[in-house]
Amino acid sequence: MASRLAPLKALLPELENTLQSFASSPSKFRIVRTVNPTLTAPKTLYILDSSFNPPSIAHLALATSALTHPAPSDIAPYRLLLLFSTHNADKTPDSANFAHRVALMTLFAEDLSHSLKTSEKAEISSTEATNISIDIGLTKEPYYNDKSVAISNTTPPPYPSDVTHIHLAGYDTFIRFCNPKYYPNHHPPLSALAPFFESGHKMRVTQRPYDENDASSKEFGTIEEQDMYLKRLRDGEREQGGFASRWGERIDMVEGAEGVGVSSTRVRTAASRKHWDTVESLCTEGVAGWVREMEVYNEHGKD
């Protein structure tokens, strides 16, 4: 593990300079690293919000599910973008600085790429899995709809103009996406989502497994209640709030895989207490190694 981490540790000063350069520039989106780079032009760009701190097996499950079991309407070739917002709507950076966050995303991407190449359960061919590139990008936009606009308006364009953006999200994030309080400058509020859906972009929502003994699980309801939430959107229940019923057809809801529901707070708590077995069970190999080696969570922060 030490030999794997050493090159990335040496890159920390460069990553810090890159982040400072982006922060002071007018750019709203920039790709800073790519794992498994290929020249294949994607038709589908899966986007995983990477404001999590650190990446966990929950995020691995979201990405793996989409890349190995894409919806029938998701057109190959595929590409994945891990997108880190430097201006998150709900959260502020804590004990791990931005450069460490990019390093963690890089290790996560490497672990995911290796996992895709060795997966025996994928519904895509081994060639497709081998050819999936994973970009690590920065944006100054905190909201999903604005993130896609920032990507599309970047010059020179990083992706083909006809690529479909599919944001990967857990059910809890999906609820926030549809919450009018985040769009106070639009009337009605949810009309803010029109540019996203009317451009042909989509969401893939992973259900949160229900556990009657878990208070946080109860907050989001049973699987049936989560299904019903999407059905009500499709039936037009939120149209007065600005959410067009037809947009609901651009939202795919899939069953949660093992690991979904693991919070980054839980990882940081275990790391701050030096419970390394727990950290290793909740993170991919590279991420767990970096968290332990660099001691980035000596002080427990908030999720």
For 154-181, the pLDDT digits (tens) are 999 999 999 999 999 989 889 999 999 9
Mean pLDDT is lowest, of 45-59, 88-102, 221-235, for: 88-102
The mean pLDDT of 46-74, rounded to a whole number, is 91
C-alpha–C-alpha distance, residues 167 and 71, integer Å: 13
pLDDT of residue 261 exceeding 70, the answer is no
Q: Coil, helix or strand for 81? A: strand
* Per-residue pLDDT band at 94 (split at 50, 70, 90): very low
pLDDT of residue 188 exceeding 60, the answer is yes
Homologous superfamily (CATH) for 2-294: HUPs (3.40.50.620)
- pLDDT above 70 covers a percentage of the chain that reads 89
Minimal CA–CA distance to 272: which of 244, 301, 243, 251? 301
Tens digit of each residue's pLDDT (9 = 90 or more) over 102-148: 999 999 999 999 998 887 666 666 667 778 999 999 999 988 889 99
The mean pLDDT of 240-261, rounded to a whole number, is 88
C-alpha–C-alpha distance, residues 263 and 130, integer Å: 29
pLDDT of residue 215 exceeding 80, the answer is no
Q: Which residues pair with 186 in a beta bridge?
A: none
Question: In the chain, what are the domain boundaries?
Answer: 2-294
pTM of the predicted model as reported, rounded to 2 decimal places: 0.90
Q: Which residues contact 254 (CB under 8 A, 6 or more apart)?
A: 65, 69, 204, 205, 206, 207
pLDDT at 131: 83
pLDDT at 93: 45
Minimal CA–CA distance to 242: which of 178, 190, 176? 190
Distances (CA, A) of 290 to 54, 102, 230, 254: 10, 12, 38, 31
Q: Strand 29-35's sheet: what is its strand order? A: 29-35, 134-139, 78-85, 44-49, 164-170, 202-206, 251-254
Q: Which residues pair with 81 in a beta bridge?
A: 47, 135
